[in-house]
Amino acid sequence: MALRTIGLRLSLWYAAVFVGSTVVLVGLTYALLASSLAQRDRDILTATLREYASRYEAAGLPALERSVELEQRTGRRERLFVRVLGPGADALFVSVPSGWETFELGRLGPEGDGAVSAAPARDRDAVLEVVSARLPDGTMLQVGKSNEIRLALLRQFRVVVGWVSVLAMGVGLLGGLILTRSTLQPLYDLINVVRGIIRTGRIKERVPARASTGDAVDELIALFNTMLDRMNGLVGAMAESLDNVAHDLRTPMARLRGTAERALQSSDPAAHREALADCLEESDRILAMLNTLMDISEAETGVLRLAREPVGLRALVEEAIGLYEHVAEAKRLTVTLAPGDELTASAARDRLRQAFANLLDNAIKYTSEGGRVEIAVAPNGGEAVVTFADTGQGIPPEELPRIWDRLYRGDRSRSERGLGLGLSLVKAYVEAHGGRVEASSEPGRGSVFTVRLPFLSRL
């Protein structure tokens, strides 16, 4: 309802601005027209006054009288008032067109030298405008013109303008409604989608997209749809994660129950102790899974707290190698770190070390006895590139895009013990540090995992 009120206000404002602009424009046009018509009449009177003055001076009053009467009879000139006054203000010659007898000629003063005087009509709204000139012999020549034609034209113009203004008001109001409707339609669509989501709880609906015009409304719609896409993706990922968690928890929970049932059925204290140890092991595995899932979720949503400090990346890799030294020796694997300069990055030491350890653990786990794991730390532009290359079994191409998914385990990895969260955690931690991680693999020849991080300095 509020949006419709806004739409009505916008329509009224648009109509008011449109009509106001039209009125101002018409007013200016009317003023210019009136001024132009008045100037035209003044120019006619001045030109005629000069012409008659020249005839009077050249041929005298009789010639002027004949000329005026001839022009009035033939209609070669507009109807004009002509009067010649003697030095004593007595009328020597007067020519008054028919119908002009009601003008109050007595109000005409003795002004000369092109001055304009006016004589109003007694029976109608009209004025006789007269221009006078003093001639060399002392006589006064006056030429006048009624403004009735001009007033009629202006009156007709006002009528036309009145109808045009009414039409403009209607067009302005209608145009305002149409323009406002088209402008606010995306907001109406947005409201309908939001109401549908609130009513049904489904977030698959989207606001219809318009051709991109770059305005704020289109940007709002695009951002809203992007937000819904992200929410839908997060909800889908959450649902999938919950399904995977439920599936993966079913086995350890079943083992816990089975172990507890066997312990209850046995009276041997040693069996009880062994059952408790198994239960603790399974509980630790479940807690590790849940804690890892929480860390991944926090890292992906940007709420994971990172105690950043300058950290040497080669030193972190060496710490990870030290953690898995005995595991590698047990499988007779060769783990090497290529020589190079130390690169310092702003990172949370524990989180980044865990990411490197997960990548090394993954490489050792899926590399056969006698194989190699080669690690390198090198700069590339403004990035530090850390690579973990192994000679293991490799990853099939169809599985490679999914290795970063939570709880995903490929067919070849199901024989190994694990939660299916190691690579998801690596990706989440690296991206939380502003970096990215990539993987390439060739089945039967090994895999290469590449971590790219912004670094502070090179030592």
| E strands present in 45-176 | 81-85, 91-95, 116-120, 127-134, 140-146
Q: Could you tell me the CATH number of the domain that includes residue 48?
A: 3.30.450.20
- pLDDT class of 212 with cuts at 50, 70, 90: low
| E strands present in 188-307 | none
User: Hey, is 388 helix, strand or coil?
Assistant: strand
Residues spanned by the domain of 84 = 2-154
- Do residues 35 and 64 touch, judged by C-beta distance below 8 A? no
Same domain, yes or no, for 8 and 106? Answer: yes
- pLDDT class of 414 with cuts at 50, 70, 90: very low
Q: Could you tell me the CATH number of the domain that includes residue 355?
A: 3.30.565.10
Question: Does the pLDDT of residue 344 top 70, yes or no?
Answer: yes
Same domain, yes or no, for 354 and 229? Answer: no
Single-letter amino acid code for the residue at 141: L
Same domain, yes or no, for 40 and 145? Answer: yes
Calpha distance 207→191 (Å, rounded): 9
CA 72, 75, 81, 82 torsion-angle sign: negative
Same domain, yes or no, for 131 and 255? Answer: no
Q: Which two tokens stand for residue 284?
A: 């630790």
Q: Which residue, 137, 154, 171, sits at the end of a domain?
A: 154
Same domain, yes or no, for 227 and 251? Answer: yes
Same domain, yes or no, for 244 and 368? Answer: no
- Look at residue 388 and tell me if it is in a domain: yes
Single-letter amino acid code for the residue at 189: D
Same domain, yes or no, for 103 and 225? Answer: no
Q: How many domains in the chain?
A: 3
pLDDT digit string, tens, across residues 254-304:
777 887 887 788 777 887 788 788 788 778 777 877 777 777 777 776 667
* Helical spans, DSSP H, in 266-376: 269-301, 313-323, 325-330, 349-365
CA angle, corner 247, sides to 406 and 292, nearest 5? 40
403 alpha carbon, distance to own chain's centre: 37
- Do residues 307 and 276 touch, judged by C-beta distance below 8 A? no
- Look at residue 331 and tell me if it is in a domain: yes
Between the alpha carbon of residue 61 and those of residues 52, 91, 153, the distances in Å are 10, 12, 35
Q: Which residue, 233, 267, 301, sits at the end of a domain?
A: 301
Q: What is the DSSP letter of 190?
A: H
Number of neighbours of residue 366 by Cβ within 10 angstroms: 20
- Look at residue 230 and tell me if it is in a domain: yes
- Look at residue 188 and tell me if it is in a domain: no
If you average pLDDT over every residue of the chain, what do you get?
82
- pLDDT class of 310 with cuts at 50, 70, 90: very high
Same domain, yes or no, for 288 and 319? Answer: no
Number of neighbours of residue 4 by Cβ within 10 angstroms: 10
Average of pLDDT values for 351-379? 92
143 alpha carbon, distance to own chain's centre: 68
Question: Does the pLDDT of residue 22 top 90, yes or no?
Answer: no
The more confidently predicted of residues 398 and 175 is 398
Instruction: Characterize the bridge pairing of strands 457-458 and 91-95.
Output: unpaired
Same domain, yes or no, for 281 and 420? Answer: no
Residue 1: predicted pLDDT:
46
Single-letter amino acid code for the residue at 67: S
- Look at residue 25 and tell me if it is in a domain: yes
Same domain, yes or no, for 116 and 250? Answer: no
- Look at residue 167 and tell me if it is in a domain: no
Same domain, yes or no, for 276 and 329? Answer: no
Return the percentage of the chain with pLDDT > 90, whole number: 17
Instruction: Write the CB contacts of 157 (distance below 8 Å, at least 6 apart in sequence).
Output: 30, 33
